[in-house]
Structure 1
Amino acid sequence: MTFKETDHWSLDADHCIAAALIMKKTIPQGGMSARLSILYAPKGPLLDWTNESLRSRVLNDLQAIAKKQSAIFLKVDPDVVLGTGVPSSKEDVIDQHGQAVMSELQRRGWRYSSDQIQFKNTVLIDLSASEDELLRRMKQKTRYNVRLAEKKGVALRIGKQEDLGMLYKMYAETSVRDGFVIRDEGYYRTVWALFMSGAESSMINDQWSAPSAEPLIAEVAGEPVAAIFVFYFAGRAYYVYGMSRAAHREKMPTYLLQWEAMRRAKAKGCTVYDLWGAPEVFDESDSMWGVYRFKEGLGGKVVRTLGAWDFAPNPFWYKLYSEVIPRVLDVMRSRGKAKTKQSLGT
């Protein structure tokens, strides 16, 4: 069973000073474990983490909730910045506020999670600059590839609801080629359609504050060859899904897609374009290294955050769960890859 509960902290009925959406999943087994659960506050809790008294109050309450719910653990992964730039590089800047939060979690017995749900690090592009300046900040090879795509006849268009089947198939092809696991088609079609309807509503009402998304599709001679989904919320744009086909890759359609995404986000009033993910370890051993090099070329800044931390009221069950769940996930990933291949007829 899964349910969601929202907790908030306020000074009065009209002034929310902190909030957390807590997702709960019970363990589907008999006996004592039927009363156990796991809790997760995605990208939360939300609060001013520099406010020490508020921070202490929220953490106290979250720990109490975990105990009351008989949780194996409560996982949080707020966007608390630990630093910017690649570690040990000349751009490396430590954020003292973030370091203080990490130290407090350690003092309280929270553990850095071996199961990171969200990307701990990302690359952000400052969209406040002019388009000429955004191009100048790109690496030379990236700028060249943007212009090459234009010269080679890559055309772009905004996707529609009727494109979702094609987009899922392209995403599935990408996952098989690059070796990552995706969900079933129904999940993506639901998410994509929901946020695309938000974009349509925003266009009608001339209001871009509501969450929305749009697919950008690159075509060569009318044939879709690559696409990205860009999400918009609260002055930020997020590159969440990317997909491509093997055909016409030499025409560099993905570079033109990213440039158009930046231009559209800027036109919508967004000040930041979040490229959604960077390596946890900044060297070639990290599975995201190749993707990071592509994102790095777009001229963004690495932002390192706190990542996911677990509060485990019952160390025994937490240790048992931590030892078992990686094996279960490996099996699920293998089955997921096989299912995706089967859906493509490969």
Structure 2
Amino acid sequence: MTVIEPAAARPDEAEAWDAEVLAAQARAHYMQSSAWARTREGSPWTALRDRIDVDGDQYPVQLFARKAPLAGTLYHAARIAGVTPAHVAALTERARSYPKHVFAVKAEVFQAYDERLVEAFEAAGWVRTVSSQYEHAVMVDLSGSLDEVAARFKKRARNSYRSAAKQGVTIDEVPMTPESTARMHELIDAVRERTGGYFRPHSYFQRIWDVYDDEGQGRFFYATYEGETVASAFVIRFGDTAWYKDAGSQRENPKSFAPYAMQWAIMQRLHAEGVTGYELANVPDPAEWETSDIRGLYVFKTAWAPEPVRYMPSFELPLNGRYRLWQKAGRYLRALYTRRTRDAWY
């Protein structure tokens, strides 16, 4: 069985790949989609596709390959889902057949923490490693009626979006135009300046927005208060799941509750389209949120679900002796790359 490159795939092939992933990977992540492979074009990462035999069924996996100084090539299985111990055994066997220049495979699993699955990875020779994605998040359950959805929110969420509505906060889905994307960049930059946190460059965001707009899988939402756009969101949908991918805002008027109104409007739109899970992305470790620099985000996001989700840790499978070089120097090389390019390695 050979690994194939999807970058040159025809639109019908891309559509078939997405259907295959959605059928095989429960709650499949958008990083396994054809659209995400398109976002990597022109980057140091090359998107590859593999199909792995698991108990007689084909398990599709999108891999991203990148050369690492001194070590060789790393294969990255980004946010795979629907993984069981049987999948781990099959992934391990398949990885050991990859070309000799591949020194390791990195696997990041988009599933809630499962000790049995962790043990399966470790028993097969995979070692824990630093994650490129967040470990804790909020997943909003959009199943059932809208009344049932809202009943699962904490009281502060319901009170906040109702208050925003009374004050005249309005939410609109906005077409992606040069003007609307420029405003999105401005609002993201406002958060960057306000928090001092690390953000990817404009070109990174723009590439993702352009691709997902073209695929019909991404959209902008804007919140307006007293005639001014005060908050924005870029939402990705893949299958029956959606993600609060990017966001920007002015310093919030605490009495407007515009972000709450925006999220509730997004959820209502997604619910009407059949989405059953809406991920609000990164939150701090629940055990340490009170001392986190983003504790405000924790309070906001956890208003929409009973408990945050803890995802599986990341693993790497060493394939040859060069992996030791990556273990020793990888963190330094990734940090050096970020300082030189102002972009993240992953």
Pair 1:109 & 2:125 matched: yes
Asked which structure has the greater CA Rg, the reply is 1
Residue pair 1:3, 1:25 contacting (<8 A) in 2 also = yes
Q: State the 1:184 CA deviation.
A: 2.3
Q: State the 1:153 CA deviation.
A: 1.4
- Once the two structures are overlaid, the 10-residue window that deviates more, 143-152 or 288-297, is 288-297
Percent identity of the aligned residues? 20
What secondary structure, in the 3-state scheme, does the structure 2 residue paired with 1:270 have?
coil
Residue pair 1:47, 1:55 contacting (<8 A) in 2 also = no
Which amino acid counterpart does residue 144 of structure 2 have in structure 1? Answer: A
2:79 corresponds in structure 1 to: 43
- Structure 1 pair 17–286 and aligned structure 2 pair: CA distance change class (3 A): farther
2:17 corresponds in structure 1 to: none
Residue pair 1:137, 1:299 contacting (<8 A) in 2 also = yes
Where do 1:1-346 residues align within 5 Å? 1-10=44-53, 17-27=58-68, 33=70, 36-44=72-80, 46-50=81-85, 52=86, 54-65=87-98, 68-71=100-103, 73-82=104-113, 98-114=114-130, 116-162=131-177, 163-199=180-216, 212-246=217-251, 248-280=253-285, 282-283=287-288, 284-312=290-318, 313-314=320-321, 315-325=323-333, 327-328=335-336, 331=339, 335=342
TM-score, with normalisation over the residues of structure 1?
A: 0.76
CA distance in 1, matches of 2:286, 2:338: 21
1:344 corresponds in structure 2 to: none
5+ residue gaps, structure 2: 1-43
What secondary structure, in the 3-state scheme, does the structure 1 residue paired with 2:332 have?
helix
- Structure 1 pair 101–327 and aligned structure 2 pair: CA distance change class (3 A): same
Residue pair 1:113, 1:308 contacting (<8 A) in 2 also = yes
Q: State the 1:317 CA deviation.
A: 0.5
Residue pair 1:123, 1:300 contacting (<8 A) in 2 also = no
Which amino acid counterpart does residue 143 of structure 1 have in structure 2? Answer: R
Q: What is the CA deviation profile of residues 190-228 of structure 1, one whole-angstrom value per residue up to 9, with x for unaligned ones?
A: 2112212333xxxxxxxxxxxx11111011233111011
- Structure 1 pair 142–332 and aligned structure 2 pair: CA distance change class (3 A): farther
Q: State the 1:185 CA deviation.
A: 2.0
- Paired residues, number: 296
1:340 corresponds in structure 2 to: none
Residue pair 1:125, 1:301 contacting (<8 A) in 2 also = no
C-alpha RMSD over aligned residues: 2.7
CA distance in 2, matches of 1:301, 1:161: 33
What secondary structure, in the 3-state scheme, does the structure 1 residue paired with 2:308 have?
strand
Q: State the 1:327 CA deviation.
A: 4.2
